[in-house]
Amino acid sequence: KQEVTQIPAALSVPEGENLVLNCSFTDSAIYNLQWFRQDPGKGLTSLLLIQSSQREQTSGRLNASLDKSSGRSTLYIAASQPGDSATYLCAVRPRTGANNLFFGTGTRLTVIP
Amino acid sequence: NAGVTQTPKFRVLKTGQSMTLLCAQDMNHEYMYWYRQDPGMGLRLIHYSVGEGTTAKGEVPDGYNVSRLKKQNFLLGLESAAPSQTSVYFCASSTGHGAQIGYTFGSGTRLTVV
């Protein structure tokens, strides 16, 4: 069974700092990996999707990378802002039994003004 | 421009009561999913559907039933609620399962069973 781990579980940084969130997964046979943002009491907002054939995706201040062979992905946030405070979840879609996403438990980010 | 809409947003049930959670999507997506989110465990798939009239079990299906009578709607039922079903429930949809396909999520239903 695919297992997804996110480290650290929580992170607190001062405003303006660049930061990296980590995601690792145990089975490299994936269709894609998706990063989501979840605000307290809210649903999931998709940030970036990286297909298995891709190495990275960028959207504004966000950059996600994928190293499928080592089972790792990183989400880089540049020039962090208080509005970036949220929980960030990564999820992988495996190639086998592909009607499911396997989620990590998330990294709770706090950006201090 | 609604995307995925879940009703209700909050509900408190007594043990043994039944209820139905409704998920509606207006994106003409074929695939729909029900997840539950519990502290420290991440989201887990309950049931899913690959098209109108189809349903299948996910990772944690026990105690739940689903129906997909219309393409745009996916219903999750609890026949006899138990405290272990206290959770936040999320519905999601997607167009298929190619490598470029991502999921769109609703805003969730917070259910408490007392």
Say yes or no to pLDDT of A95 above 90.
no
- AA letter at A74: T
Say yes or no to pLDDT of B62 above 80.
yes
Q: B61 φ, ψ to 5°? A: -85, -15
Q: Is B82 an 8 Å CB contact of chain A?
A: no
Q: What percent of chain A has pLDDT over 90?
A: 86
- What H or E segment, with its residue span, contains residue A72? strand A72-77
Q: Which pLDDT score is estimated for B107? A: 93
Q: What percent of chain B has pLDDT over 70?
A: 96
Q: Which pLDDT score is estimated for B96? A: 74
Task: Note the pLDDT tens digit of each residue in A51-73.
Answer: 999 999 999 999 999 999 999 99
Set of chain A residues whose Cβ sits within 8 Å of the Cβ of B43: 89, 91, 101, 103
Q: Is A43 an 8 Å CB contact of chain B?
A: yes
Say yes or no to pLDDT of A37 above 80.
yes
Among A3-7, A67-71, A97-101, name the one with the lowest average pLDDT.
Answer: A97-101
Between CA B92 and CA B106 the distance in angstroms is 6
Q: Is B10 an 8 Å CB contact of chain A?
A: no
Task: Note the pLDDT tens digit of each residue in B10-19.
Answer: 999 999 999 9
Residues 50-89 of chain A with CB under 8 A from chain B are 51-53, 89
Interchain proximity B105–A44, CB inside 8 Å: yes
Task: Note the pLDDT tens digit of each residue in B74-111.
Answer: 999 999 999 999 999 999 999 876 767 788 999 999 99
Q: Which pLDDT score is estimated for B95? A: 86
Between CA B53 and CA A93 the distance in angstroms is 24
> Which sign, positive or negative, has the C-alpha torsion A86, A52, A26, B101?
positive
**Lookup: tokens for A3:** 């297992």
Nearest to A19, CA basis, from A88, A72, A66, A69: A88
Q: Which pLDDT score is estimated for B42? A: 86
Contact A93, A30 (CB under 8 A): yes
CA distances from A57 to A73, A81, A94, A106, B39 (A): 11, 20, 19, 19, 29
